[in-house]
Structure 1
Amino acid sequence: MTVDEEEPASPGARLMQTPGFGICIYAIMGYMTIIDIDLFKNELVQTLVKHPRFSSLLIEKDKRLGKYSWKRTKVDIEKHVFAPELDPDMESPDEFVEKFVSALSRQTLDPTKPLWEIHILNVKTSDANSTAVFKIDHSIGDGVSLISLVLACAAMRRSSNNPGVEYLPVMPSKKQKTNIGILVVMKRLFLSFWTGFLIIYYTLIDLIMVLATMLFLKDTKTPIKGERGVENSPKRFVHRIFDLDDVKLVKNAMHVSVNDVLMGVTEAGLSHYLNTRYGATTEKHTENGGEIIKKSNNTLPKDLRIRAGISFNLRPSPSVKDLIEVMDEKRELMGMWGNLVGIVLVPLTIALEDEPLAYIRRAKSTMDRKKLSLAPHCIYVLLKLLINFFGTKAAVLAAKNVSYKTTVGFSNVVGPKEETNLFGHPLSYISPTASGFPLALVINYQSYGNKLVIAVAADEKLIPNPHQICDDLHNSLQVFKEAVIKKGLVQDASYLC
């Protein structure tokens, strides 16, 4: 696409531009060294800026229907990269970075230039020697696509510095199993019929629940449940870095997926966090003329309805090699980019379990059912039809009605298996989050090398202590780890793969 050419924006991109639904993605990237600003800018020009979406304006074509198109433009890197002068010996640099990102989320991106910017903070925190905060309008792409682009930028520069050598980051891959035999064929035939029935059944159930939620069914009012207008309230962004090997240990011992473990961690962590919040109110009564204050270890109300909206990627993420070819102008995007994400509602059981591993077993059962449901695909198609026939405002109204009546947002994005060099500097961690969402709490998990980063975005008024959520999530993982070792489900900590 040349500077004069235009390309219609996808339905997802149009949705993100609707007033009141302006969602921005933040990639908080910690680096192992102080960032050389000139080198950083030069690397951006040689990689990220070459991507069509990062060098295009989003032009409004039809305000009533919310139609937009992408138009290539020349990028002035000085208008996209900002590096404020900071005191390297400041007190509480971690708190400074948190407040900086929170303040950044209150500012809108300039529509007269491509919808992204980067803020370089050369100050040492507890997890890195410097931090780069990427702010990207969600209309540019979803989280999975953006992670693929980050890896492509890293591989592209390594290859250019070593001509003739191709560097592609190693991504986790699924193991392929091969079975041969007539009994296996018969078993698969039977399972295919049964699976087909379950797919139809679970899809109908999920669609009915989404429709009911849109109309009347809402979660219980709790200290983490937002109300209408929560997308406009100030957010605080915090993160915590786990050891990914701990997650893998529990995964292998329980014969579940990493996602199952993280759902169990989320359910357990929120149960303990809410128990603490409800426990802040003590029960008082009088006995024999004196006042007695009673406290219970379990202060959770019964029958809490709390659901998480989980993002499902509906297509394979663009390969690193394909994106390198796009930035080298050897091929077009051809539909491999954009927002192609479906949402599924997952119930969370908020309770203090005597058996810690019950959280994981329940998470696996729930996620196995959700994997069979085609509801995310159906919801995406329905939103697309709403946008095409009634405009983006109708689609936003439907999406917000569902979000307002649920409690938590959840995502898990898989990163590279090895640490990498990005924009000329060694990367320590990636902490993804977002603003503008109609929820009071969003939890994102991001793997990177042997690390797992949990990023929490929380409403400052409803959730004044988001670090406590991180603590409870981390503690829950440690309890799971101790439980599988104590039960003898894993004999040796080297049982990791």
Structure 2
Amino acid sequence: MGGDEALTPAGRMFLQPQMKQIIHCVIGLKKEIDVESVKSEIRNSTLLKHPRFTSLMVRDRRGVEHWRPTEIDIDNHVRIIEEALGEQDESAINNYLSELSIDTLSMDKPLWEIHLLLLHKCVIFRIHHSLGDGISLMSMLLASCRKLHDPRALPTISASASNTTSRFSLSNLLLTLCFCFIFALDFILRCLWIRDTKSALTGGSGVELWPRKIATATFSLEHMKTVKTALNATINDVLFAVISSGISKYLDFRAPNELRDGVQLTGLAMVNLRKQPGLQELSNLMRSNSGARWGNKFGMILLPIYYHRSNTSDPLEYLKRAKAMIDRKKRSLEASFSYRVGDLVMSTLGPKFASLLNYRILCHTTFTISNVIGPQEEIMIGGNPVTFLRANNSALPHALILNMVSYAGRADMQVQVAKDIIPDPEFLAKCFEDALLEMKEQVTAKI
């Protein structure tokens, strides 16, 4: 027991039955995969230098979880899929990910795996959420990558910028405190009883066990930048406006006249809280005194959208509403508040109670969304050029989970659904893509 290390409260929460989560990072490659080369890269990578990836999760007599160092057998962590999973690479990969989204990891080995889809030139890296969050995972992977046109240089990650700077004043302070109170109260009421209006997208308790389907919505970052510049917004503002508009379009098609115009549906967004924005080098994440240290360091914010019949809505109105709402959220410090409260609850009342509260919030809202900033230029891993980067995670009580990753001028959003509730994620993905194109055309027409 001398070498054992206790799990963090967040790590323990992600081991609870209701909140077990596995993160999937999906890497598309240009050339064929050399299995032995991949195994060699793993043996020499920073991954095996990190204690989380070389430790078993064990429980002591009191049921408290600990990390225990162990020897790594690479062959137990690499799964090789030699057969074709479908005629088209994208649909085959997404179908495979759909099955993984309701699959677990064996507790008999360190909680990570790498799946090699040989004929589809795709690598899927799976880690249990108790090891770290999406930012940690992407940083781990990118530490092994190099720029395609400069093989000695690490990938460049742009920092996300905020456009809501304001000078200190008593009125600003009072406004911030007011927003803090309103959004904190909203969180508390969501935990207790308030829930979204039922719609064709609504999940609920037990839906995390239902079969899944995944589709991919692809966006041009140039189009997103064109739209955001026109209204002095951010990429996140544009993303959320696209989701608002796309969901309205989908509901118009799937359930016309089911909802009244203006009804609220709520998303749950995961926000990175590290002091240094963007992805960090692994060496930075592993330092205990770094503001970007390894682990789970994210807050949650509630992001309301409002259904509007798409044939009567100005596309840019979605962006104006999204920007105004997100600006208020930034001033409220809601993400930091949710992280601090969650950490306090886990430390004082235990991971089981914290898991219950998180599960209730998920059951009372409609969808989950996350956005990770990836490399700006093309990269390679093990000398093999990367064609795309994507991410998703295990199923949740939500029937709709959206995970976006940007890479080399485009952004791919994985649209994961409970297929018995949302049978046509490909159409929903197209609704999101069309929403951005409509906004870009509207902006272009006004120039």
**Structure 2 length as normaliser, TM-score?**
0.91
SS in 2 for 1:484: helix
Larger deviation, residues 364-373 vs 435-444: 435-444
Matched residue SS, 1:200: helix
Contact 1:314 1:342 (C-alpha < 8 Å) held by counterparts: yes
Question: 1:192 Cα deviation (Å)?
Answer: 3.3
- What residue in structure 2 maps to residue 339 of structure 1? 296
Q: Does 1:389 align with 2:348?
A: yes
Q: Give deviations 1:58-104, integer Å, cap 9, x for gaps.
A: 2223655xx3222222211111111122149x534433322222222
Choose which of 106, 110, 119 in structure 2 pairs with 1:114: 110
Which residue is equivalent to 2:193? 216
RMSD of aligned residue pairs (Cα, Å): 2.7
Give the structure 2 partner of residue 15 of structure 1: 13
Structure-1 separation of matches of 2:420 and 2:240: 25
Report the Cα offset of residue 304 of structure 1. Answer: 2.3
- 2:215, 2:415 within 8 Å by CA — same for their partners in 1? yes
Q: Equivalent residue for 1:289?
A: none
2:171 corresponds to: 194
Q: 1:57 maps to what in 2? A: 56
Percent of aligned pairs with the same residue? Answer: 32
Counterparts of 2:35 and 2:362, CA distance in 1: 39
Residue number among 90, 95, 101 corresponding to 2:97 in the alignment: 101
Q: What SS does structure 1 have at the residue aligned with 2:5?
A: strand
Name the counterpart of 1:5. 3
2:126 corresponds to: 135
Distance 2:363 2:58 in 1: 30
Partner-residue secondary structure (3-state), 1:433: strand
Match of 2:144 in 1: 153
Counterpart for residue 72 of structure 1 = 69
State how far apart, in whole Å, the 1-side matches of 2:411 and 2:324 are: 23
State the Cα deviation string for residues 313-369 of structure 1 (Å, max 9, x = none): 122369877524778xxx668781111111111110111243110000110000000
Aligned partner letter, 2:144:
C
1:209–1:99: structure 2 CA closer, same or farther, 3 Å change rule? same
Aligned partner of residue 345 in structure 1, secondary structure: strand
Instruction: Say if 1:456 and 1:367 are closer, same or farther in 2 by CA, change over 3 A.
Output: same
Does the residue aligned with 2:130 lie in a helix, a strand or coil?
helix
Secondary structure of 1:53's counterpart equals helix
CA distance in 1, matches of 2:119, 2:305: 39
2:24 and 2:392 in contact (8 A); partners too = yes
Secondary structure at 1:41 match in 2: helix
Cα distance in 2 for partners of 1:22, 1:244 equals 33
Whether the aligned pair in 2 keeps the contact of 1:342 and 1:377 (CA below 8 Å) is: yes
Tell me the alpha carbon deviations over residues 168-226 of structure 1, each in whole angstroms, 9 at most, x when there is no partner.
3211136799x9xxxxxxx93xx432322122111110111111111111101111110
CA distance in 1, matches of 2:204, 2:265: 14
Superposed displacement of residue 387, structure 1: 2.0
Cα distance in structure 1, aligned partners of 2:60 and 2:180: 36
2:154 alignment partner in structure 1: 168
In the alignment, structure 2 segments of 5+ residues that lack a partner are none
Cα distance in 2 for partners of 1:233, 1:417 equals 36
Counterpart for residue 22 of structure 2: 24
Match of 2:184 among 189, 199, 207: 207
Partners of 1:343 and 1:379 within 8 A in 2: yes
Question: Which amino acid in the other structure matches residue 202 of structure 1?
Answer: F
Residue 292 (structure 1) aligns with: none
Whether the 8 Å CA contact 1:225–1:439 is kept in 2: the answer is yes
Tell me, yes or no, if the aligned pair for 2:147 and 2:379 is still in contact at 8 Å. Answer: no
Question: Given the alignment, which residue of 240, 245, 248 partners 2:225?
Answer: 248
Pick aligned residue for 1:438 from 394, 397, 400 = 397
In the alignment, the residues of structure 2 paired with residue 170 and residue 206 of structure 1 have an alpha-carbon distance, to the nearest angstrom, of 35
Q: More deviation in 25-34 or 313-322?
A: 313-322
**Cα separation, 1, equivalents of 2:140 and 2:14:** 20
C-alpha distance in 1 between matches for 2:149 and 2:135: 22
Name the SS of the counterpart of 2:214 in structure 1: strand
Amino acid of the structure 1 residue aligned with 2:267: A
Query: Paired residue for 1:144?
Result: 135
Q: In the alignment, is the contact (CA less than 8 A) between 1:264 and 1:360 conserved in 2? A: yes
- Secondary structure at 1:248 match in 2: helix
Within 2, Cα distance between the matches of 1:156 and 1:142?
A: 24
Q: How many residues align?
A: 442
Pair 1:403-2:362 in alignment: yes
Larger radius of gyration: 1
- Which residue of the other structure, out of 216, 223, 240, is the alignment partner of 1:239? 216
> Which one of the candidate residues 359, 371, 375 is aligned to 2:334?
375
Q: Which amino acid aligns with 2:21?
A: I
Distance in 1 of aligned mates of 2:162 and 2:360: 41
Within a 5 Å distance, the mapping from 1:206-355 to structure 2 comes to 206-279=183-256, 300-316=259-275, 323-324=282-283, 336-351=293-308, 352=310, 353-355=312-314
What secondary structure, in the 3-state scheme, does the structure 1 residue paired with 2:314 have?
coil
C-alpha distance in 2, partners of 1:87/1:19? 33
Q: How far is the alpha carbon of 1:473 from its aligned partner?
A: 0.2
Counterpart of 1:429 in structure 2 is 388
| Pairwise CA distance, 1:118 | 1.2
Read off the aligned partner of 1:140 and give its amino acid letter: L
Q: CA deviation at 1:238?
A: 2.0
Structure 1 residue matching 2:401: 3-state secondary structure:
strand
Task: Specify whether residues 326 and 458 from structure 1 end up closer, same or farther in structure 2 by C-alpha distance, changes over 3 A only.
Answer: closer
Rounded to whole Å, the distance in 1 between the matches of 2:148 and 2:283 is 10
Give the structure 2 partner of residue 493 of structure 1: none
